[in-house]
């Protein structure tokens, strides 16, 4: 069964991170939709480009919805901070609730209005152990990965252009390379090579990051399954955590992405990472059945 055929969608963005939201919470139980497969997600992205597709299913337990997240290459994502802000904005406007909770593949995610059109997402606690990120083999300290050890080689011998990255999981795997200038590298070329490196069995989000001051980080990200993006909320969170672990910054920072700024706090009380930023409505649309004709949509 093709789930998206004849379904309405809302197109939004979080700092330029293109998000499509499909709400299946109120579908007749007799026609309860299943999960979307990779070919269907790719067909939807070919019609209405997105970085992430957020699909809302009926809630299980005391939440506002269950959510599945799809990248534009058809793969599933465990987390998408910018997408969660977009979903929270829509559901808050519909229900009048300022605080919401959603079930995602990465666990329960709380969101709330921060006023002035901003929403905060509790991205949960970061994970640092090598098998939680995951990496292909044991690494004692994920704050600084040994490039020689993991076989990453970019640049001439003795003068690599990228050095010892940090690795963090924010519900999805992130690798952060600390550089002086995030624009001085061809991330469109380097990103895919690193995303698919054998050291990262579930692939990885690849970020170039610079910390010019104790409360400011600048990043560019090659997003796993989506490519070069104007904004990646979970990468902003991962970079903030990695910077604090290395002593480059404190636990509250502004992260500048190509699409704009996010406020990130790695809360000391419970280690949860809070991300606050804007959302923008673009338009509504509909996935006509003809888009999925080759997949058997009626």
What is the pTM (predicted TM-score) of this model? Answer: 0.91
Among candidate residues 86, 111, 232, 237, the one labeled active-site is 232
Least confident of 92-101, 178-187, 260-269: 178-187
pLDDT > 80? residue 261: yes
How many C-beta atoms lie closer than 10 Å to residue 155's C-beta? Answer: 10
The phi, psi pair for 47, rounded to 5°, reads: -85, -45
pLDDT > 80? residue 161: no
At 298, the pLDDT band (50, 70, 90 cuts) reads very low
**Is 147-271 the same fold as 7-123+280-295?**
yes
List the Cα angle 29/32/38 in 5-degree steps.
170
102-132 pLDDT tens trace: 999 888 999 999 999 999 999 999 999 999 9
Whether 232 is catalytic: yes
Round to the nearest angstrom and report the end-to-end CA distance of the chain: 9
41-87 pLDDT tens trace: 999 999 999 999 999 999 988 899 999 999 999 999 988 999 999 99
At 153, the pLDDT band (50, 70, 90 cuts) reads low
Average pLDDT over residues 145-155: 60
214-251 pLDDT tens trace: 999 999 999 999 999 999 999 999 999 999 999 999 99
Among candidate residues 30, 80, 86, 237, the one labeled active-site is 80
Assigned CATH for 147-271:
3.10.310.10
CA dihedral 182, 180, 79, 249 (to 10 degrees): -150
At 30, the pLDDT band (50, 70, 90 cuts) reads low
Whether 111 is catalytic: no
pLDDT of residue 73: 95
Domain locations in the chain?
7-123+280-295, 147-271
How many C-beta atoms lie closer than 10 Å to residue 199's C-beta? Answer: 21
At 154, the pLDDT band (50, 70, 90 cuts) reads low
pLDDT > 60? residue 29: no
Mean pLDDT over all residues of the chain? 91
Domain 7-123+280-295 in CATH 3.30.1130.10? The answer is no
């Amino acid at each position: 069964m093709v789930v998206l055929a004849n379904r309405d969608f809302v197109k939004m963005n979080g700092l330029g991170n293109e998000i499509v939201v499909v709400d299946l919470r109120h579908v007749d139980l007799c026609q309860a939709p299943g999960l979307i497969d990779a070919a269907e997600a790719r067909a939807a992205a070919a019609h209405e480009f997105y970085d992430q597709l957020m699909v809302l299913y009926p809630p299980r337990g005391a939440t506002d919805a269950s959510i599945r997240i799809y990248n534009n290459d058809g793969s599933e994502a465990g987390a998408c901070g910018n997408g969660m802000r977009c979903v929270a904005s829509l559901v808050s406007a519909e229900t009048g609730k300022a605080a919401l909770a959603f079930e995602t593949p990465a666990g329960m995610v709380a969101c709330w209005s921060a006023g002035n059109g901003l929403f905060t997402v509790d991205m949960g606690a970061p994970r640092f152990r090598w098998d939680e990120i995951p990496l292909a083999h044991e690494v004692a300290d994920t704050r600084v990965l040994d490039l020689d050890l993991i076989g990453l080689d970019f640049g001439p011998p003795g003068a690599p252009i990228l050095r010892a990255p940090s690795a963090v999981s924010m519900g999805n795997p992130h690798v952060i390379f600390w550089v002086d200038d995030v624009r001085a590298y061809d991330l469109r070329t380097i990103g895919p090579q690193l995303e698919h490196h054998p050291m990262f069995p579930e692939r990885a989000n690849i970020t170039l990051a610079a910390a010019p001051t104790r409360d400011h980080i600048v990043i560019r990200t090659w997003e796993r399954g989506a490519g070069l993006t104007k904004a990646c909320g979970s990468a902003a969170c991962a970079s903030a955590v990695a910077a604090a672990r290395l002593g480059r910054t404190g636990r509250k920072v502004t992260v500048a992405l190509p699409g704009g700024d996010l406020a990130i706090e790695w809360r000391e009380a419970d280690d949860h990472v809070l991300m606050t930023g804007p959302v923008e409505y673009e338009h509504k649309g509909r996935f006509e059945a003809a888009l999925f004709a080759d997949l058997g949509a009626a």
